[in-house]
Chains A and B, each alone.
Chain A
């Protein structure tokens, strides 16, 4: 009985510490300015199809201060790798030396997959996301909605919770979303440091979001 009580006590204490740390990590994000100390390492979650096109539009305008760039794509995605290489090579021509890698992880959610099986495959994707994020240790994660974002952002938060590194989470909701957030958007809205939407109707519903007009 006593052992059980101690175990319960330890469990509650750890959970409480975890929640407090999570709260601190999320709340203090905006004070964090990695650019003051030099180049900003970025983990770019490319996802697939339209998501990749949109995120590369955002990357087009980021200066060479955002180096190196680690792109994450789903392992079932063939098109994105090509698009990313074409993009990075054209950047190289324009002067800045290209420093990028492409990493593959299992897709956490195929389109139309049910919620319960999504949960299982997201956990599976987390197994790959944790080592990846802990190895790369980016200054920020940039993502825009594919399911792969969630496990990667969880891993990024964990780095902060453990006090190893604060990783900024920058989320840009897809231009397709006018009235409602995507499932990924809903999950990451409370967890991200900068949450961008591209339509004023979403800004009105989500006061924490940042609206700069259409940005892709």
Chain B
């Protein structure tokens, strides 16, 4: 079953949860063949009931020690702009749509999401354009995100420190 996983990280992002469970957004998901919607809602006030979104199968939780399983099972990840969530989703090789919370201005975490968007590693929208993005997005434009190379760091350090 094609699954969408929505994650808001350690904070809350009620506007995203509200938009993605709206009739229009759920219909757009359904039209793309997604049948299961898993929401990680964090500290949000909004905790949608399992039957509040009849077009798709809805599962909701606040936190888990690790969201690695949810990411692994997902075919599309919709995430807040947090660096940790972005890197985890991209590291797992999943298509990622980042929804920016435009109520949080000057958030330095946006820097990374913006750059990764410029490098075509993820799609980028706000809550007000989310439904439209779900209708029109083209996931095939996304470029794979190669893992960083800590070996280069280790080799450099070995050389300058004289480690044999």
Chain A contact residues, CB within 8 Å of chain B: 30, 33-36, 40, 49-50, 53, 57-58, 60-63, 65-66, 140, 168, 170, 172, 174-180, 182, 194, 196, 198-199, 210, 212-216
Contacts and interface: CB of A to CB of B under 8 A. Distances in A.
A66 B157 CA distance: 10
Contacts of B111: 176-180
Contacts of A58: 150, 153-154
Interface in B130-148: 147-148
What is the predominant secondary structure among interface residues of chain B facing chain A? helix
Given A58-B150, A61-B150, A172-B153, A30 B108 contact: no
A194 B154 CA distance: 13
Interface residues of B, number: 25
Contacts of B150: 57-58, 60-61, 215-216
A contact patch SS:
loop
A35 B163 contact: yes
A170 B149 contact: no
A212 B163 contact: no
B149 A40 contact: no
A53 B84 contact: yes
Contacts of B84: 49-50, 53
B120 to A, nearest CB: 15
B153 A215 contact: yes
Contacts of A62: 154, 157
Nearest to B155: A61
B108 A176 contact: yes
Given A62-B154, A63-B154, A210-B156, A175 B148 contact: yes
Contact of B161 (A33, A172, A180): A33
B87 A175 contact: yes
Nearest to A60: B150
A213 B149 contact: yes
